[in-house]
């Protein structure tokens, strides 16, 4: 299921003194099966854009095509449920959306809203809870007794249980410890590969983009200023740094080596790539 933005503009509180134009003529495609990353400054419109992906917001002008549905400014708020089921969104700090008495019921809440029977929803809850790395003993606990990281996992499980085709992640690892962050990102990558889920990741962490994403959109002040594969986008280190967006750690390190006179065919993105390239360089030096 593709999601296409065509000339999407969005203005908060239009025709009022508090009018605020957030998105300007956005053209963007999230291709089926593609791990797409959205990066950009705080206030560049990423989170607003994310809410267009499942029609929580409708464009002020322009169209958004989600699967077969076309969302225009005139689209009514009825019958959007099928879209919401196919496009699951994990918002920033999703632990604030928990409300049920038990973890199991909270996770089952989403599927039940989409018409899944109580028994099936309970099975889904048990399954997804394991996917996010918590065992069955948590099912009957109150979500409010859990630690922050565990609450985050339960909240994410609540979205995964809807079995979305597209999973939108708005800074899913903000505020997690390094271990939890890594586990979480690996889990999303696994879902992407094994279940062929399309992923849209909004993040400030360029290392995550380099490690996982197939395609990147760079947003600035509500417009797409750059798009492409991470390999291409991150080659322009100076441009990105001038925009204060930064590059992956490995790329930044390689750039420093380049400044000292080393030569790379192209800048590496991940530490593995960097290591390989360094080995190669070292090997050549050894042969001479």
Q: In terms of C-beta density within 10 A (0-12 exposed, 13-18 middle, 19 or more buried), how is residue 121 classed?
A: buried
Choice between 17 and 261, CB closer to another protein = 17
Q: Which stretch binds another protein (CB under 8 A): 89-97, 126-134, 206-214, 221-229?
A: 89-97
Q: Does 45 bind another protein (CB under 8 A)?
A: no
Considering only 46, 52, 58, 84, the residue that binds another protein (CB under 8 A) is 84
Q: For the chain, how big is the Rg over CA atoms in Å?
A: 21
Determine which residue in the list 45, 59, 88, 180 makes contact with another protein, applying CB under 8 A.
Answer: 88
Rounded CA-CA distance 212/235 in Å is 17
The answer to whether 169 and 200 have CB atoms below 8 angstroms apart is: yes
User: Of residues 90-149, which lie at the interface with another protein (CB under 8 A)?
Assistant: 91, 94, 96-99, 109-110, 113-114, 144
The stretch among 60-68, 77-85, 235-243, 273-281 that binds another protein (CB under 8 A) is 77-85
Instruction: Tell me which of 26, 28, 64, 89 binds another protein, using CB under 8 A.
Output: 89
Cα–Cα dist 123/125, whole Å = 5
Task: Label residue 133 exposed, middle or buried (CB < 10 Å: 0-12, 13-18, 19+).
Answer: middle
Nearer to another protein, 61 or 113 (CB): 113
d(CA 255, CA 110): 46
Judged by CB under 8 A, which stretch of 51-59, 60-68, 182-190, 206-214 contacts another protein? 51-59
Q: Of the candidates 221, 200, 238, which has an alpha carbon nearest to the alpha carbon of residue 50?
A: 200
Enumerate binding residues for another protein (CB under 8 A): 12-13, 16-18, 51, 54, 56, 81, 84-85, 88-89, 91, 94, 96-99, 109-110, 113-114, 144, 158-159, 162
């Amino acid at each position: 299921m593709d999601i296409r933005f065509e000339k999407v503009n969005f203005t908060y509180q239009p025709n009022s003194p508090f009018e605020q134009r957030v998105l300007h003529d956005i053209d963007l495609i999230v291709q089926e099966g593609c791990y797409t990353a959205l990066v950009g400054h705080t206030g560049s419109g990423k989170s607003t854009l994310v809410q267009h992906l499942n029609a929580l917001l409708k464009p002020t002008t322009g169209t958004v095509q989600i699967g077969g549905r076309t969302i225009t400014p005139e689209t009514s708020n009825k019958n959007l449920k099928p879209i919401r089921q196919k496009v699951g969104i994990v918002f920033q700090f999703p632990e604030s959306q928990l409300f049920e008495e038990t973890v199991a019921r909270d996770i089952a809440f989403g599927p039940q809203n989409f018409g899944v029977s109580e028994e099936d929803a309970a099975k889904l809850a048990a399954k997804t809870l394991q996917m996010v790395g918590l065992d069955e003993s948590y099912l009957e606990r109150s979500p409010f007794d859990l630690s922050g990281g565990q609450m985050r996992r339960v909240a994410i499980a609540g979205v995964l249980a809807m079995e979305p085709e597209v999973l939108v992640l708005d800074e899913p690892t903000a505020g997690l410890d390094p271990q939890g962050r890594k586990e979480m990102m690996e889990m999303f990558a696994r879902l992407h590969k094994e279940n062929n889920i399309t992923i849209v990741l909004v993040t400030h962490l360029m290392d995550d983009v380099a490690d996982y994403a197939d395609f990147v959109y760079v947003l600035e002040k509500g417009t797409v200023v750059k798009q492409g594969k991470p390999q291409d986008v991150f080659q322009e280190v100076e441009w990105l740094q001038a925009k204060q967006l930064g590059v992956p750690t490995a790329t930044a390190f390689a750039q420093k080596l380049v400044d000292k006179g080393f030569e790379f065919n192209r800048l590496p993105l991940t530490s593995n790539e960097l290591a390989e390239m360094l080995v190669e360089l070292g090997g050549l030096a050894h042969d001479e």
